Structure 1
Amino acid sequence: MIDDFAKTYLHDDLRHVREVVVWKLDGLGEYDIRRPLTATGTNLLGLVKHLSVCEARYFGEVFGRPFPEPLARWDDAEAGETEMWASEHETREEIVDRYRRVWEHSDATILALAIDSPGYVPWWPRPQVMLFNILVHVLAETNRHAGHADILREHLDGSTGFAARYADGQRDAAFWAARRAEIERAARAGDPTLA
Structure 2
Amino acid sequence: MTGPEAKADLQHYLDTARDALLWKLDGLSEYHVRRPLTPTGTNLLGLVKHLAGVEAGYFGDTFGRPFPEDLPWMSEDAEPNADMWATADESREDVLALYRRVRSHADRTIDELDLDAPGSVPWWPEDRRRVTLHRVLVHLIAETNRHAGHADIVRELIDGTAGLRADNDNLAGGDEPWWEDYRDRLERTAREVGDRA
* TM-score normalised by L of structure 1: 0.92
**Mapped contact 2:73–2:83 kept (Cα < 8 A):** no
Matched pairs, number: 194
Name stretches of at least 5 consecutive residues in structure 1 with no aligned partner: none
Indicate how the Cα distance of structure 1 residues 26 and 73 shifts in structure 2: closer, same or farther if over 3 A, else same: closer
- Structure 2 letter corresponding to 1:117: A
**Mapped contact 1:20–1:146 kept (Cα < 8 A):** yes
Counterpart residue number, 2:193: 190
Q: Quote how far apart the aligned CAs of 1:86 are.
A: 0.6
Is residue 7 of structure 1 aligned with residue 18 of structure 2? no
Counterpart residue number, 1:158: 160
Q: Quote how far apart the aligned CAs of 1:193 are.
A: 3.4
Is residue 181 of structure 1 aligned with residue 173 of structure 2? no
Partner SS, residue 191 of structure 1: helix
Q: Quote how far apart the aligned CAs of 1:171 are.
A: 4.7
Q: Quote how far apart the aligned CAs of 1:65 are.
A: 0.4
Residue pairs, 1:1-195, within 5 angstroms: 2-72=2-72, 76-125=76-125, 126-167=128-169, 171-193=174-196
Give the distance between the partners of 1:191 and 1:89, measured in 2 at CA. 47
Give the distance between the partners of 1:77 and 1:132, measured in 2 at CA. 30
**Mapped contact 1:62–1:121 kept (Cα < 8 A):** yes
**Mapped contact 1:72–1:79 kept (Cα < 8 A):** no
- Identity among equivalent positions (%) equals 51
Give the distance between the partners of 1:120 and 1:112, measured in 2 at CA. 17
Partner SS, residue 104 of structure 1: helix
Q: Deviations over 1:113-132 (max 9, x none)?
A: 00000001011121111001
Indicate how the Cα distance of structure 1 residues 38 and 153 shifts in structure 2: closer, same or farther if over 3 A, else same: same
Q: Quote how far apart the aligned CAs of 1:73 are.
A: 8.0
Q: Quote how far apart the aligned CAs of 1:176 are.
A: 2.6
Give the distance between the partners of 1:74 and 1:120, measured in 2 at CA. 17
Give the distance between the partners of 1:60 and 1:67, measured in 2 at CA. 6
Give the distance between the partners of 1:119 and 1:54, measured in 2 at CA. 15
Q: Quote how far apart the aligned CAs of 1:4 are.
A: 2.4
Q: Quote how far apart the aligned CAs of 1:187 are.
A: 1.1
RMSD: 1.9
Q: Quote how far apart the aligned CAs of 1:77 are.
A: 4.2
**Mapped contact 2:44–2:154 kept (Cα < 8 A):** yes
Give the distance between the partners of 2:105 and 2:80, measured in 1 at CA. 22
